[in-house]
Structure 1
Amino acid sequence: MTSADMTQAESLPDNLDQLLSSNGIRLGAAQRRRLAWLAQRLGGTTIHQSGSVPAPDSHVVIVVEPPSGPAAEMLYRSLRANSAVVIPFGENPAFDFLKSKLTDFGTIGPSLDGPHEMWWGGLNWRAIVPDGGSRTSTPLRVVSCYPRACGHDQARRLRDKLAEFEIASDIAPIETVDGEHIRASERTAFMLRMWHEHREPLLFIEADATLSEPPRLPSCLDCDIALHRWNRWEMSARTLFLGRSPAAEALLQTWHHIASAYPQVWEGYLLDQAWSLTSSQVPLDTVWLPRSYHAPAEDLGTPRHTAVVHNLPVDSSDLGPDAEFGMAMRTARRASRSGGRDSMIVVKSETMASDVITVIMRDIATSDAREVAASIEAVTEAFAADCGGFGRLELSLCSWQDDVRTAKSAARSANNRIIEIAPWQTLPTDLFRTVGQSRNAGSVVVMAGHRG
């Protein structure tokens, strides 16, 4: 690194903090770290101004207001190959159209110090990691398992390639209830065992896959979890990276718990639910791996620099067994965010209580993005200041009445207290204390008020 590069890296935190604070943007520590990571790799950072195009030296563009269709098109056409777009209020569905025009790189869940989902994306992965991936000192261990009934040859090609690339691995047969089929609970039990036996980050690869080149990308990303989403919404566990972090371990444990409770449910859906639960409770740093890490063997469109080739038919029938499965979450997952039927953020209080309060924020689709963001911050700050005796806050964002009804039904089934608010309403500082004085589980407190 040159002296000029070192000076830029040293001044970067102060410059970013000034840029964020002057534009009223709150980021959690993990989100702030990812933004700095992008700025160090790509260069200048700027706030996108509506109706304008980024300056030539602006390679990291922060978008805080949802652009209209024409404005999104203009922004998209102005981006260069070495550009990235960061949306600090990524939980808002108003940004979905812009996201749909870009390649999803990753998302980082909310936390009390940054109660928003941060999304980042761009045009292609080559801007973030050059051809062949960056060399890294971070060790990585590939792990895999296969049914004992399938025999040793099930993983022969993968073993051979790992030996050729001199990559440490642990590939083992396991006992399975269904013969040659591995249940999600059996897969996650194996991965938990690998997590405790090894200290390196783990890259799980399906045993019947093979490698075309060393899979360097995941270990370059400094993330909690990295995986591929087929058709941008269907989470696949065939290639799954887990960094050595408490958040990654929490996701793995949650996935195993859900898979054990529902052994007959398709594992992609179970992984999706584990991701949603974990990312609402901790700032889970997720990276969406490119197609080159999940290429079907017969895919004529396989990229030149394919890393992981899976023994999959081109129609992806080995993924979702039901074409209608997960319909309710597809729109949200295509935009890398939680849906209205999920809790966007879960905040625990210091009170040793089992009572839970659900806050449903309605009319998200018809509200200003800054208004929604400010309301989310107001709710979490009020709960942190005075939890009203509740042990946990669950906040759901609902665009439509159908989402509101579903969120209420879920809260009632859990015997939660419920508050329904709109983004433009001013909340009292003792909101949760007041509601907590009436402990009628399942009842709804609707905040009064009209848009000014």
Structure 2
Amino acid sequence: MTRPASSAIHDDPTQTLRADGVWLGEHQARRLRWVSRTFGPPVRWDRLSEACGGRTILVLDPPTGAGAELLVSSLTSHDAVVIPLGENPAFDFLKSKLTEFGTVGASADGPHELWWGGLGWPAPVGAHRPDALRVVSCHARTIGDLHIYHLRRSLERLGLAFEIEAIDSGSGDRLTAADRADFVTRMWQRHKQPLLFVEPDVMLQAVPDLPELTGCDFAVHKWNGWEMSARTLYFGRSKAAETMLRTWSELARTFPDVWDGYLIDQAWSAVTSQIALDTVWLPRSYHAVAGQLAARSAVVVHNLKPTSGDLGPDPDFATMVRPARRAGRVGASDALLVLRSGANSDKAVTVILREVDSRSARETADSIDAVTRAFVADCGGFGRLELSLCSWQPEARIAREAAFLADNMVFEVVPGQHLPENLFRTIAAAEAGRRPDNVETYRR
């Protein structure tokens, strides 16, 4: 493959970003290298030449509306777009024009969200190993084994390792989210392979090797762009995958009657803000509906009525408590980043970075970096930091109220604002009543 002379910067894409002052965490760098090996050499969007072969296009600054349209029109099916500062809402318009492939969450060594996508998921390339993946499913014992006939036959035909189990449920013929989560947890502890959980009424038409070939921690399909479906779930063998599974299981046991898609959403939001969870968003081919045209070439076909309502949320579930998972990032009511310190303290501080829509993405990123570094260097006696991004005052108010409910100290800052030395000791002093003039803190 001939690399465009004007765009070749470094063989290692992380070096390309470092040259522009953008540093990635270990897991984010590993994903970016994988994308570069899979799609093509890294090139910055503002240095693109004519398309040739595949490229990994790095977008460091949000393009204008016309710029986003121009970028999308220049893409081929062999290209991937990577946004290293994907937590910023200024990139949402560009993301809306693309298919989301995955995200890697924020952490102390990489306090931003890496987003990657393209025109459409390419066919995965790699030799299938029969022992590389185990498909698991469960059903209520009362409905009998006839319900799983097509699933079992399809798994046997494809030569996949699988385990299907009948379990007792306190809800009769219906399994709760807690039933499913407990079952997957037992399977994860019993087997050594990554797990793909599917509902018992599905049929597999091809080997579901996309999540395994990407080497991700967790994979899920999103309906309507953000509503997570619990019908097809992938858990890798990493510590991050185990944390995601454990968090989902704990939430499901605590709230057994809550819509299972919402529980997966909340588990993902909590985990991706605390560790660099490497998520792959499964394409529609993993969530096709029997009877629809797309089901002919799908990997996983679901026995559902061919209407959009059946794949969406529970219609009786309150809209106000399921905020949109916008553009693959956490919303204002959730923290972008949660860090724990070594301090023997249960005190927590919430830093609200507000007015991010009116500032450049670089300014916002620099402020995120500064707050993170300050907390890692000196936590000021706080046991936990929660960092939230807010575009408008209503979002800041929501984040502030959530922090008050958790009895957190609240500190608000705008991108580019000068932060005092020993930031968190200064905030702690303000909490104790020794408030400096340059620190805006809140305590209900």
TM-score by length of 2: 0.92
Tell me the residue number matched to 1:41: 38
Secondary structure of 1:254's counterpart equals helix
Would the aligned equivalents of 1:421 and 1:446 in 2 still touch at CA under 8 Å? no
| CA deviation after TM superposition for structure 1 residue 136, in Å | 4.9
Which of 105, 116, 122 pairs up with 1:120?
A: 116
| CA deviation after TM superposition for structure 1 residue 426, in Å | 1.0
Would the aligned equivalents of 2:248 and 2:264 in 1 still touch at CA under 8 Å? yes
Query: Does 2:290 align with 1:293?
Result: no
| CA deviation after TM superposition for structure 1 residue 305, in Å | 2.7
Aligned residue type for 1:33: R
The answer for unaligned runs of 5 or more in structure 1 is 6-10
Q: Output the CA distance in 2 between the equivalents of 1:388 and 1:308.
A: 51
Which of 147, 158, 161 pairs up with 1:168?
A: 161
Secondary structure of 2:132's counterpart equals coil
5 Å-filtered alignment, 1:177-326, equals 177-302=170-295, 304-319=296-311, 320-322=313-315, 325-326=318-319
| CA deviation after TM superposition for structure 1 residue 334, in Å | 4.0
Q: Output the CA distance in 2 between the equivalents of 1:260 and 1:13.
A: 48
Tell me the residue number matched to 1:356: 348
Tell me the residue number matched to 2:5: none
Would the aligned equivalents of 1:419 and 1:445 in 2 still touch at CA under 8 Å? no
Identity value in percent = 47
Tell me the residue number matched to 1:106: 102
Query: Does 2:378 align with 1:386?
Result: yes
Q: Output the CA distance in 1 between the equivalents of 2:252 and 2:164.
A: 21
Secondary structure of 1:194's counterpart equals helix
Q: Output the CA distance in 2 between the equivalents of 1:55 and 1:284.
A: 34
Tell me the residue number matched to 1:154: 147
- Structure 1 residues 12 and 72: CA distance shift in structure 2, 3 A: closer
Q: Output the CA distance in 1 between the equivalents of 2:127 and 2:282.
A: 15
Would the aligned equivalents of 2:11 and 2:41 in 1 still touch at CA under 8 Å? no
Q: Output the CA distance in 2 between the equivalents of 1:212 and 1:317.
A: 24
- Structure 1 residues 445 and 216: CA distance shift in structure 2, 3 A: farther
* Deviations 1:283-331 (CA, angstroms, capped at 9, x unpaired): 00000001110111122343x4311001111224344112774567654
Which of 75, 80, 89 pairs up with 2:76?
A: 80
5 Å-filtered alignment, 1:387-426, equals 387-426=379-418
Would the aligned equivalents of 2:430 and 2:436 in 1 still touch at CA under 8 Å? no
Secondary structure of 2:293's counterpart equals coil
Aligned residue type for 1:30: H
Aligned residue type for 2:241: A
Tell me the residue number matched to 1:8: none
5 Å-filtered alignment, 1:21-100, equals 21-49=18-46, 53-57=48-52, 59-100=55-96
Q: Output the CA distance in 2 between the equivalents of 1:314 and 1:440.
A: 59
* Deviations 1:60-116 (CA, angstroms, capped at 9, x unpaired): 001011011100000000011100000000000000000000000000001111100
- Structure 1 residues 274 and 13: CA distance shift in structure 2, 3 A: farther
Would the aligned equivalents of 1:141 and 1:202 in 2 still touch at CA under 8 Å? yes
Secondary structure of 1:281's counterpart equals coil
Tell me the residue number matched to 1:371: 363
| CA deviation after TM superposition for structure 1 residue 338, in Å | 0.4
Aligned residue type for 2:423: L
Would the aligned equivalents of 1:420 and 1:445 in 2 still touch at CA under 8 Å? no
- Structure 1 residues 110 and 55: CA distance shift in structure 2, 3 A: farther
Would the aligned equivalents of 1:227 and 1:287 in 2 still touch at CA under 8 Å? yes
Aligned residue type for 1:352: N
- Structure 1 residues 150 and 67: CA distance shift in structure 2, 3 A: same
Provide the alpha-carbon RMSD of the alignment. 2.4
- Structure 1 residues 77 and 406: CA distance shift in structure 2, 3 A: same
Q: Output the CA distance in 2 between the equivalents of 1:301 and 1:444.
A: 62
Tell me the residue number matched to 1:15: 12
Query: Does 2:338 align with 1:338?
Result: no
| CA deviation after TM superposition for structure 1 residue 218, in Å | 1.9
- Structure 1 residues 433 and 169: CA distance shift in structure 2, 3 A: same
250-259 or 278-287: bigger deviation: 250-259
Q: Output the CA distance in 2 between the equivalents of 1:271 and 1:252.
A: 9
Aligned residue type for 1:86: V
Q: Output the CA distance in 1 between the equivalents of 2:153 and 2:436.
A: 60
Aligned length: 432
338-347 or 432-441: bigger deviation: 432-441
Secondary structure of 2:297's counterpart equals coil
Query: Does 2:124 align with 1:129?
Result: yes
* Deviations 1:346-387 (CA, angstroms, capped at 9, x unpaired): 011111211111101110111100000000000000001110
TM-score by length of 1: 0.90
Q: Output the CA distance in 2 between the equivalents of 1:285 and 1:147.
A: 32
| CA deviation after TM superposition for structure 1 residue 40, in Å | 0.9
- Structure 1 residues 109 and 445: CA distance shift in structure 2, 3 A: farther
Aligned residue type for 1:35: L
Aligned residue type for 1:183: T
- Structure 1 residues 112 and 142: CA distance shift in structure 2, 3 A: same
The answer for unaligned runs of 5 or more in structure 2 is 3-7
Q: Output the CA distance in 1 between the equivalents of 2:152 and 2:194.
A: 18
- Structure 1 residues 325 and 65: CA distance shift in structure 2, 3 A: farther
Q: Output the CA distance in 2 between the equivalents of 1:185 and 1:90.
A: 32
Secondary structure of 1:94's counterpart equals helix
| CA deviation after TM superposition for structure 1 residue 429, in Å | 2.4
* Deviations 1:246-293 (CA, angstroms, capped at 9, x unpaired): 111111111111111111110100110000000000000000001110
| CA deviation after TM superposition for structure 1 residue 35, in Å | 0.8
- Structure 1 residues 381 and 25: CA distance shift in structure 2, 3 A: same
